Amino acid sequence: MKRDFPLPGDLIRVQTSEWYALGNGELLRVCEQPGWATVGREIFVAPRNQVQTFWGPHEGPPDGVKPVRMSTSGGPFRTVDLSSLSVLEFVEEKQDEFWHWKYLPKAAGGVNYQREVVLWTLSHFPDTDWADPENQTRYVPAGTPPPSIRLACVYCDRQDGDGISAIPEHWTDVSFVQSYEESCRPIPVDEPQGGSPWEWYTHLGLCPECRHNYGDESGKGGEA
103 and 44 in one domain? yes
Number of domains in the chain: 2
pLDDT for 194 = 46
**Domain identity same for 109 and 199:** no
| DSSP assignment of 85-119 | S--EEEEEEEEEEEEEESSSTTTS-EEEEEEEEEE
| Same domain membership, residue 74 and residue 20 | yes
Q: Is the pTM of this model over 0.75?
A: no
Q: Are 155 and 112 within one domain?
A: no
194, 92: one domain: no
Residue-number span of the structural domain to which 189 is assigned: 149-218
What share of the chain in percent tops pLDDT 90? Answer: 26
Read off the pLDDT of residues 53-110 as tens digits, 9 standing for 90 and up.
999 888 888 888 888 889 888 878 888 888 888 788 999 999 999 998 888 766 668 8
Same domain, 121 and 159: no
**Residues of the chain falling short of pLDDT 70:** 1-2, 105-108, 128-146, 186-198, 215-224
Decide if 142 is inside a domain: no
Residue of 176, 182, 10 lying closest to 80 (CA atoms): 10
